[in-house]
């Protein structure tokens, strides 16, 4: 009897560590955006999602507009936030997303990254600006600036606090 309890206890401990490890292994999927703003990798429930981006001077200039539409709602990013994005960032646009996780932790989302030009030294991440949007209601959940750490081969995330849609 004691051996059975030990085996059950050990099995429970292994299961807890396995589940924790699986949760930590979660990774976003890399996405693409079509000319019409559609994101083809999204599941059927989010097929109406669109990302509309426009730059001055075609694709070479400054970001003029960023609209995210999902689940029948739309968010237009304020101009004061668009000014944070480096010029010519259209060629360094990177989209990721997740919709297969537990929404009690974070809603299904898409993260849009505008990467800065490549730094002179290799870093573990790319500096730039990240916008995190909810796929459920198109809400802008978070804006993060990825900043190189001076004198180190590292970057840090700086969450930008928003007041009325603009940086504080």
pLDDT tens digits, 26-61: 578 999 999 999 999 999 999 999 999 988 776 566
Measured CA to CA in angstroms, residue 54 lies from 65, 66, 82, 110, 128 at distances of 5, 7, 11, 18, 18
Answer whether 62's CB lies under 8 Å from 53's CB: no
Average pLDDT across the chain, whole number: 83
pLDDT interval class at 23 (50, 70, 90) = very low
Closest CA to 68 of 92, 79, 52: 52
């Amino acid at each position: 009897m004691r051996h059975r309890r030990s085996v059950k206890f050990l099995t429970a401990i292994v299961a807890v560590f396995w589940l924790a490890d699986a949760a930590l292994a979660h990774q976003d999927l890399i996405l693409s955006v079509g000319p019409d703003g559609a994101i083809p990798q999204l599941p059927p429930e989010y097929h109406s999602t669109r990302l509309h981006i426009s730059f001055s001077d075609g694709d070479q200039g400054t970001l003029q507009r960023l609209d995210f539409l999902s689940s029948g709602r739309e968010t237009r990013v304020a101009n004061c936030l668009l000014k944070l994005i480096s010029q010519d960032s259209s060629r360094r646009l990177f989209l990721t997303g997740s919709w297969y996780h537990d929404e009690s932790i974070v809603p299904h989302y898409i993260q849009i990254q505008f990467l800065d030009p490549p730094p002179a030294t290799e870093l573990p991440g790319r500096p730039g600006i990240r916008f995190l949007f909810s796929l459920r209601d198109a809400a802008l959940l978070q804006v993060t600036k990825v900043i190189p750490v001076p004198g180190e081969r590292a970057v840090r995330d700086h969450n930008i606090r928003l007041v009325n849609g603009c940086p504080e």
